[in-house]
Amino acid sequence: MSTAPSTTTDEAPQPAADPAPSPGSWAPLRPLVLRLHFYAGVLVAPFLLVAAVTGFLYAGAFQAEKLVYADEMTVSAVGDSKLPISEQVAAAREAHPGGTISAVRPSPEDDATTRVLLAGVKGVDPDHTLAVFVDPYTAKVRGSLEQYGATGALPLRTWIDEFHRDLHLGDTGRLYSEFAASWLWVIAAGGLVLWFSRRRAQRKVRGAGGRRRTLGLHGTVGVWAALGFFFLSATGLTWSTYAGANIDELRTSLGHSTPSVTATAGGEHSGHGASASAGDAEHGVGLDKVLAAARAEGLGDPVEIVPPADSSSAYVVKQVQRSWPEKQDSVAIDPTSGEVTDVLRFDDYPLLAKLSRWGIDLHTGVLFGLVNQIALMALALALILLIVWGYRMWWQRGRGSAFGRPVPRGAWQRVPPQILLPCVAVIAVLGYFVPLLGIPLAAFIAVDVLLGEIAHRRGGRTPAGVK
């Protein structure tokens, strides 16, 4: 819910106003949640702020991409009929003979160009392809741009995507986004608990001023945005470095990994490579018959045709629509006979594979198009505001001091063992699957206990400079 400390932790307690805790109440846990929410918010908020700002930009990049690259993505005039795919690919190869054809995306709409994707082109990032845009009515090449990922991100969106994911620092930079995603749900959950544990009168914003008003805005917006934060946290971890690997391993062990079509000519089981030599795009029966065979199996636009990897491989035609309803069916087609050798329907995906696909597409803003992107921008803006309000409350609580008054220690010792031990077990499991949550949390607890012990030995005084 919040990314900076909730001022629920900040105000001096009012014993007369609060009901006495009853046996079995959550009262012993509240100081612990309070302390964790405060310090986690302070320390994690800078990472979340970067993620929120770059996420806001990424959500808006879809519409910006359509404007910036309109000449490449659309035709100048819609003709009567589209040329065969083979002619369009030949035109692309004539303009760009370098590299190898890795895939072809036929024009999915009347005014859209065809994309011929080339891998191994000099000067193009090895993880990217060169997309050559061809007018399907005239075979005129309208331009070429680097493309990244299954959603066909072009340079503008690719740059923002990589900035959001790893700050353009590679694998090391990905740790920042995983750290932020690992802690977002914890801070949100803690804020929800603290907000709803307050008396209704204390949550009112109207008529309040100063720090109480800031708290009211912080809490109200956080409550409304909390579900979205839980979702962003969970889906963001799905393809993170460490937690993502653990999630993939769990899915595999449960038999819910994402399946793939068998891409061996003749139907024999083997792997499938992504790229082919320049001549393989027209290997065997050719692209036009392959596309016709896929259409006969019900694969409507948009589709991607992947040429055979070698002489024993088949063509693969797969739907690439990531918006609702998902179109992810795929077929393998023998290049010598043009017969379909394998069919994989999205309806047959395991449940966790479907949930993963939907979750990632919703997180990246493609599942529900413009509405999805606006919702993501609203969530990012809410997160930015919560961070600003959280730090403002921190300042207001200290009345201008550098750090504000610290949240009292000793919360761990006041939690009964029958509550603390299950919590420790849950934290240990979460820490194993989400290491960038577990490791910092363990370090925080160790340092907090150590400083508490030092303070205790000094007669209960907080060490100088420790906030």
* Residue 311, pLDDT score: 85
Whether residue 254 is predicted with pLDDT greater than 90 in this model: the reply is yes
Domain boundaries, the chain: 7-60+167-249+370-457, 76-153, 261-348
* Residue 198, pLDDT score: 73
Q: Indicate the burial class of 34 (C-beta count within 10 angstroms; 0-12, 13-18, 19 or more).
A: buried
pLDDT digits (tens, 9 = 90+) for 220-235: 999 999 999 999 999 9
Per-residue tokens: 27? 């009262």
Tell me how far apart the alpha carbons of residues 184 and 181 are, in angstroms, rounded to a whole number: 5
Q: Which of 103 and 21 is assigned the larger pLDDT?
A: 103
Q: What is the mean pLDDT of residues 352-358?
A: 95
Element (H, E) at 388: helix 369-397
* Residue 303, pLDDT score: 98
* Residue 407, pLDDT score: 54
With cut-offs at 50, 70 and 90, classify the pLDDT of residue 36.
Answer: confident
Which range is most confident: 154-158, 238-242, 456-460?
Answer: 154-158
* Residue 411, pLDDT score: 63
Tell me how far apart the alpha carbons of residues 198 and 185 are, in angstroms, rounded to a whole number: 20
* Residue 274, pLDDT score: 38
Question: 100-105 and 340-344: which strand pairing?
Answer: unpaired
φ, ψ for residue 193, nearest 5 deg: -60, -45
Of the ranges 151-165, 207-221, 337-351, 372-386, which one carries the lowest mean pLDDT score?
Answer: 207-221
Query: What are the DSSP calls for 105-136, one per residue?
Result: E---STTBPEEEEEES-TTS-TTSEEEEEE-T
Instruction: Express as a percent the part of the chain with pLDDT over 90.
Output: 64
pLDDT digits (tens, 9 = 90+) for 393-441: 888 876 444 444 545 565 666 777 777 788 788 888 888 899 999 888 8
Sheet hosting strand 114-119, strand order edge to edge: 141-147, 129-134, 114-119, 100-105, 303-306, 315-319, 330-333, 340-344
Q: What is the mean pLDDT of residues 259-263?
A: 94
pLDDT digits (tens, 9 = 90+) for 316-326: 999 999 999 99
pLDDT digits (tens, 9 = 90+) for 357-403: 999 999 999 999 999 999 999 999 999 999 999 999 888 876 444 44
Q: What is the mean pLDDT of residues 60-87?
A: 97
Do 152 and 304 touch, CB atoms closer than 8 A? no
Tokens 């299950």 belong to residue = 422
Rounded to the nearest 5 percent, the helix, strand and coil shares of the chain are 50, 10, 35
With cut-offs at 50, 70 and 90, classify the pLDDT of residue 211.
Answer: confident
* Residue 316, pLDDT score: 97
Of the ranges 248-252, 439-443, 462-466, which one carries the lowest mean pLDDT score?
Answer: 462-466
Domain 76-153 fold is: Nuclear Transport Factor 2; Chain: A, (3.10.450)
Q: What is the mean pLDDT of residues 438-464?
A: 71
Query: What are the DSSP calls for 38-105, one per residue?
Result: HHHHHHHHHHHHHHHHHHHHHHHHHHHHHHHTHHHHB-SS--SSPPPHHHHHHHHHHH--SSEEEEEE
pLDDT digits (tens, 9 = 90+) for 108-133: 999 999 999 999 999 999 999 999 99
> Which residues lie below 8 Å from residue 293, measured CB to CB, with a gap of 6+?
317, 331, 333, 338, 339, 340
User: In 3-state terms, what secondary structure has residue 344?
Assistant: strand
With cut-offs at 50, 70 and 90, classify the pLDDT of residue 19.
Answer: very low
Instruction: Express as a percent the part of the chain with pLDDT over 70.
Output: 81
Tokens 């914003």 belong to residue = 205
- What is each CA distance from 103 to 137, 152, 351, 456, in whole angstroms? 20, 12, 28, 67
φ, ψ for residue 146, nearest 5 deg: -70, 140
Whether residue 92 is predicted with pLDDT greater than 70 in this model: the reply is yes
Task: Give 216's strand partners.
Answer: none
Q: Which of 223 and 13 is assigned the larger pLDDT?
A: 223
With cut-offs at 50, 70 and 90, classify the pLDDT of residue 447.
Answer: confident
Q: Which of 154, 103, 163 is nearest to 125 (CA)?
A: 154
With cut-offs at 50, 70 and 90, classify the pLDDT of residue 29.
Answer: confident
* Mean pLDDT score across all residues of the chain: 85
Tell me how far apart the alpha carbons of residues 389 and 213 are, in angstroms, rounded to a whole number: 10
Of the ranges 55-64, 186-195, 271-280, which one carries the lowest mean pLDDT score?
Answer: 271-280
Look up the pTM and report it. 0.85
Q: What is the mean pLDDT of residues 181-188?
A: 95
* Residue 35, pLDDT score: 80
- What is each CA distance from 239 to 235, 319, 363, 403, 463, in whole angstroms? 8, 22, 11, 36, 42
Q: What is the mean pLDDT of residues 174-190?
A: 95
